[in-house]
Amino acid sequence: MKVEDIKKILVVGAGTMGHGIAEIAAISGYKVYLSDISQDILNNALERIRWSLSKLQERGQIKESVDTIMSRITTIVGLDKTVSDADFSIEASTERMDIKRQVFSKLDELLPSHAILATNTSSLPITKIAEATKRPDKVVGMHFFNPPVLMQLVEVMKGDKTSDETAKVTYDLAKKFGKQPIMINKDVPGYVVNRILGQINVASCVLVEKKVADYREVDAVARYKLGFPMGVYELIDYTGVDVAYYVSKSREELGIRDDIPICSLIEQKFKNNELGVKTGKGFYTYPAPGKYVKPELPKELADKLNPVLILAGAVNEAARLLREGIASRDDIDLGVRLGLGLPKGIFQYADELGIDNVIKALEDLKALSGYSVFSPDPLLTQMVGENKLGIKTGSGFYTYGKVEEKKLNTLIIRIEPPLAWIILNRPERLNALNPELVSELDKSLDELEGRSDVRVVIITGNGRAFSAGADVSSFITLRPIDVIRLRTLRNVVNKIALYTKPIIAGINGFALGGGLELAMACDIRIASEVAQLGQPEINIGVIPGAGGTQRLPRLVGKGKAKLMIYTGDMVSADDAYKMGLVDLIVPANRFEEEVRRVALKIAEKSPISLLAAKLAIELGYESNIWTGQTLESTLFGLLFTTKDVEEGVKAFLEKRKPQFKGE
Ligand code: NAD
């Protein structure tokens, strides 16, 4: 059978899912039979479909009239010979094996021999349902997400006996419905997406139970560091603590994992009848039962917890699904993006976080909980053995540009597409800026500017310092005229200020004098919590000479700048953050990962709009608001001539991530 042979579709069960699935089938032009156990339920379903269609019509999302689409749906109480010309059935009845088996046995009896019998079950084995029929090769899982009309993803899953043809036709039908299907080759409880979500929940529970973090910190990291649309506990509140409770309870029955007890936090909330949004209180408090307001989470709550701890279990699960051939890399990532609304697939996250860090996190989680589910999957261990650590080594689950490392006399240049690191490398002199270093920095910046595979440049230091400033030992021999002529550092600093790629200062330690001036010219300053910053030139009888007297007051205000410059005192990273001298503080032991995470986020954007934003901000800031706004609107208009904007708008409408080429 081919998808083109399908003319009539039977949907069994007209509840939450069934009515939505029937609606999609009718919108897609199919004749639909919708069956349930009473006419009342069916009438209610028809009303819900009509209401939903009218909403779609208001938004211009359907081409035909509501009546035309409705006229394709015929309701049937129970199942009888009427449905014997259906080519495809989708069962969405109550989630009970006995009911499903009864329904399937009846369908097998009534439907023509070519018909495919799909089930929308969330958790019951397809193979067991298929056993109720004489056509197990034609029984398949077709898992929609709630609400089916809006959610793009459909998981197609084979039972032990499902034929390739059945799976293919089902996949193609999901496409005809305008959905994005993914293929799951083996009957695994929970399909792909819910298994992965399940592991995010398990790890998040361990972190709170073992007091590594509190639940708000987990949620803040999920939202602010990993870009989840909702925090882990926020989502549990949203879908219902009771749902999470029953899913965990049935885990054993489903054979998903046997050594993970139910999360004590969820059990506690469940027992207190604090079920989340529906009761007005769960992990968070809501204004009234059923009234959802997004919980407030201060950004600072995301500072402490290592994000990889939340995702490591999920990466491990995904690696297993991939290694066992249950689903492909691309399908798993697509599923995670569309099914969970995450900005990236789980393997993309893993590559960014570093596979070595994922394994370390798994070991930590295992030590905390004792759960064997956190034993690293052999695929991950193998990847580490092959130095496939993700973006930082140029390959992980995906392949990136080739990582190159070049050692100059005073710098290490590490190209890790789309990022480039310039590492000041005179650690024995706290990366003091001698003429050779400045000149190598100057040339390297020019070189990197010309490379299209480099989207963001990071300047950081090797060892304890970012840079402790000019090499004072060379000052002794200088005459005043030499100093005035010595424009090199100033030139490099100015080059950075108007550099055409985003440039980040990764302040790993001391940033003093010229070192701080260098950092201040960068677009963004990310400091390690141990960093110390200062303009100590006054201590040797001079003043900052590479823009310090100009950029420091622009960042922190005149008073604070004078205080720093007059006293020559250093400020801590924390104080620097409070004054606005640095933009982000990150833990010292995760410094590189955190800087990389921010840089990669920027690297995903259009290089042309990044440049336009930079010019508008930098030049506008130094002129007046009218000139600045004129520049802004000119650049704004110019951007509409780029292919990147075309791609950006298209991707937005198609609900996918844009691939900007900088054209
Ligand atoms: P629901 O309770 O809203 O609807 C089930 C419907 O099936 C009810 O109207 C019920 O009267 C009907 N029904 C029961 N026995 C029947 C029979 N013998 N013949 C015809 N109809 C019968 O449940 P739901 O949330 O729509 O879930 C339906 C299925 O979809 C379940 O298998 C569930 O696991 C799965 N699912 C649910 C969601 C979700 O978010 N709700 C998501 C994906 C999959």
Taking residues 349-369, report their average pLDDT.
Answer: 97
Rounded distance from Cα 100 to ligand 1 centre (Å): 10
Q: Is the pLDDT of residue 510 over 80?
A: yes
Phi-psi map region of 94: left, alpha, beta (phi>0 left; psi -120 to 50 alpha): beta
Q: Is the CB of 95 under 6 A from ligand 1?
A: yes
For the stretch 30-86, pLDDT in tens is: 999 999 999 999 999 999 999 999 999 999 999 999 999 999 999 999 999 999 999
Q: Is there a contact between 452 and 458 (Cβ–Cβ < 8 Å)?
A: no
Nearest-atom number in ligand 1 for the CA of 17 is 26
Taking residues 165-177, report their average pLDDT.
Answer: 97
Q: Is the CB of 397 under 6 A from ligand 1?
A: no
- Range with the lowest mean pLDDT among 181-185, 474-478, 516-520? 474-478
pLDDT value at residue 521: 97
**Going by CA atoms, what residue is nearest to atom 8 of ligand 1?**
15
Alpha-carbon distance of 465 to 510, in angstroms, equals 4
Give every CB contact of residue 152 below 8 A, 6+ residues apart in sequence.
Answer: 179, 180, 338, 655
- Range with the lowest mean pLDDT among 234-238, 507-511, 631-635, 650-654? 650-654
Q: Which residues of 230-239 are buried (b: 16+ CB within 10 A; e: fewer)?
A: bbbbbbbbbe
With bands split at pLDDT 50, 70 and 90, how would you rate the model's confidence at 472? Answer: confident
For the stretch 431-452, pLDDT in tens is: 999 888 999 999 999 999 999 9
Run of H or E residues at 340 = helix 329-340
Rounded distance from Cα 238 to ligand 1 centre (Å): 20
Nearest-atom number in ligand 1 for the CA of 93 is 7
With bands split at pLDDT 50, 70 and 90, how would you rate the model's confidence at 220? Answer: very high
Q: What does DSSP say about strands 571-572 and 532-534: parallel, antiparallel, or unpaired? A: antiparallel
Nearest-atom number in ligand 1 for the CA of 14 is 9
Alpha-carbon distance of 375 to 265, in angstroms, equals 23
In order of 119, 123, 556, the CA distances from 316 in angstroms are 28, 21, 45
**Going by CA atoms, what residue is nearest to atom 4 of ligand 1?**
15
Q: Is the pLDDT of residue 485 over 70?
A: no
Q: Is the CB of 94 under 6 A from ligand 1?
A: yes
3-state DSSP assignment of residue 34: strand
Q: Ligand 1 pocket: which of 16, 99, 149 to mutate (most atoms <8 Å of CB)?
A: 16
Joined together, the tokens standing for residue 610 give: 């990044």
Rounded distance from Cα 152 to ligand 1 centre (Å): 19
Taking residues 106-134, report their average pLDDT.
Answer: 96
Q: Is the CB of 14 under 6 A from ligand 1?
A: yes
Rounded distance from Cα 133 to ligand 1 centre (Å): 20
